[in-house]
């Protein structure tokens, strides 16, 4: 995988090896089974949410429109990384081409940025619904919802393409073994030769733009939401308002917590073990729990699911 053509003192890497879980040789089959089941549940669960929010008339509201977008995003998000993980575990062939690695990382970063923006948009939707209920139909009209959704999907594309190009412009020498189960920025920067401080600064700046700013917007929205809820006259009204926000807030914590820790730590503090552990959260845990959280805590979604099942049976 290393082309020995001299470029200064560096070798030109033509491919990588994703070590993944190679340090656990005795449980490769077990890991394949677990990850395959989780991937199947993610696809079915999020797919059901997309279907019922499209066909059930009671769910034709902005909140469920954004939820359908979020579930569609989760399907795309896991499909960028998990199938490759399953192939590596099944075949034990962990090689990946330079182009394949760059493509995987680029789509992973773009979809990650989309998730950050979409979670912020969903928080704004809840803010308008609770803090300005009379203006809600006017503010969150169909045109605005579509524009917010499209903006969330495409906003990160140019920046993340640029960041991917910058990472893969680094000189790689020596080992081409990535101590991770997919192509991500921290393990690739660890493989690079020379000074990577500029790349680390760019990672921090992009994180501030695509993670910290949406996170602050979500925080501000919930400060206003909680303040408004506490002013409601009855406990029943307060509970109902909290229940419409709690599911989204849980998903926000599951996604932003591990992701922020992974990308904002300096290079010297990165280790393959901790990187893989935190990555498992935003690759598997959030997409898996998203449909569970939104269905079990939402009477409208449960009613729509029962209606769909009764029609099929």
Collapse the DSSP code of 179 into the 3-class scheme (helix H, G, I; strand E, B; otherwise coil) and give the result. Answer: coil
For residue 118, what pLDDT band results from cuts at 50, 70 and 90? very high
Tell me, what's the pLDDT at 262? 63
Predicted confidence (pLDDT) at residue 42 exceeds the cutoff of 60:
yes
**Distance in angstroms (rounded) separating the CA atoms of residues 40 and 78:** 11
Where does the pLDDT of residue 11 fall: very low under 50, low under 70, confident under 90, or very high at 90 and above? very low
Q: What is the mean pLDDT of the chain?
A: 83
Q: Report how far apart, in Å, the C-alpha atoms of 37 and of each of 31, 41, 87, 91, 213 are.
A: 10, 6, 14, 18, 35
* More confident of the two residues 303 and 29: 29
Three-state DSSP class for residue 3: strand
Distance between CA atoms of residues 187 and 99, nearest Å = 17
- What is the rounded distance in angstroms from the CA atom of residue 24 to the CA atom of residue 289? 26
Whose tokens are 């053509």? That residue is 5
Residue 145 pLDDT exceeds 50: yes
Higher-confidence residue: 87 or 299?
Answer: 87
E strands, the chain, in order: 2-7, 10-13, 15-18, 95-97, 177-178
Strand partners, 18: 178
- Inter-residue contact 21 to 31 (CB < 8 Å): yes
Run of H or E including 158? helix 157-168
**Can you give the pLDDT at residue 260?**
66
* pLDDT over 80 at 6, yes or no: no
pTM of the model: 0.85
pLDDT of residue 261: 65
Considering 142-151, 231-240, 304-313, the range whose residues carry the highest mean pLDDT is: 142-151
Per-residue pLDDT band at 307 (split at 50, 70, 90): confident
pLDDT in tens, 13-32: 678 888 878 777 788 889 99
Q: Tell me which of 54-63, 80-89, 127-136 is least confident.
A: 54-63
Residue 301: both structure tokens together: 């979604």
Residue 277 has pLDDT above 80, yes or no: no
C-alpha to C-alpha distance for 237 and 139, rounded to whole angstroms? 22
Is the pLDDT at 62 greater than 80? The verdict is yes
Q: Indicate the helix (H) or strand (E) that contains 245.
A: helix 235-264
- Burial, 255: exposed, middle or buried (Cβ in 10 Å; 0-12, 13-18, 19+)? buried
% pLDDT > 70, the chain: 87
Mean pLDDT of 176-196: 84
Domains along the sequence of the chain with CATH: 2-312 (1.20.1070.10)
Tokens representing residue 203 in the block: 């990672």
Q: Among 76-80, 209-213, 309-313, where is mean pLDDT lowest?
A: 309-313
- Contacts (Cβ under 8 Å, ≥6 apart) of 267: 186, 189, 190, 196, 200
Express each pLDDT in 247-271 by its tens digit.
778 888 877 777 666 666 655 555 5
pLDDT at 33: 93
**Residue 60 DSSP label:** -
What does the alpha-carbon distance between residue 177 and residue 187 come to, in Å, rounded to a whole number?
9
More confident: 235 or 190: 190
């Amino acid at each position: 995988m290393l082309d020995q053509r001299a470029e200064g003192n560096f070798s030109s890497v033509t491919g990588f090896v994703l070590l993944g879980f190679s340090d656990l040789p005795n449980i490769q089959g077990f890991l394949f089974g677990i990850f395959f089941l989780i991937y199947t549940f993610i696809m079915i669960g999020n797919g059901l949410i997309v279907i019922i929010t499209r066909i059930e008339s009671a769910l034709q509201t902005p909140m469920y429109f954004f939820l359908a977008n979020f579930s569609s995003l989760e399907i795309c998000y896991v499909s960028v990384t998990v199938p490759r993980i399953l192939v590596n575990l099944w075949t034990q062939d962990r090689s990946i081409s330079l182009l394949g690695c760059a493509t995987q990382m680029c789509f992973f970063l773009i979809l990650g940025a989309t998730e950050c923006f979409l979670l912020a948009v969903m928080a704004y939707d809840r803010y308008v619904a609770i803090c300005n209920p009379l203006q809600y139909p006017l503010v969150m009209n169909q045109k605005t919802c579509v524009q917010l959704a499209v903006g969330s999907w495409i906003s990160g594309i140019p920046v993340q393409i640029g960041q991917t190009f910058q990472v893969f412009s680094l000189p790689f020498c020596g080992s081409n073994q990535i101590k991770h189960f997919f192509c991500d920025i921290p393990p690739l920067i660890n493989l690079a030769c020379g000074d990577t401080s500029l790349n680390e600064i760019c990672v921090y700046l992009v994180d501030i733009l695509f993670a910290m700013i949406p996170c602050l917007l979500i925080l501000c929205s919930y400060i206003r939401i909680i303040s408004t809820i506490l002013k409601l006259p009855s406990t029943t009204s307060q509970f109902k308002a909290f229940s419409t926000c709690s599911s989204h807030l849980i998903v926000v914590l599951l996604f932003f917590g591990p992701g922020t820790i992974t990308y904002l730590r300096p290079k010297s503090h990165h280790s393959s073990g901790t990187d893989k552990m935190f990555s498992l959260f935003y690759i598997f845990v959030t997409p898996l729990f998203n449909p569970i959280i939104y269905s079990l805590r939402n009477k409208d979604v449960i009613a729509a699911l029962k209606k769909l099942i009764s029609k099929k049976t």
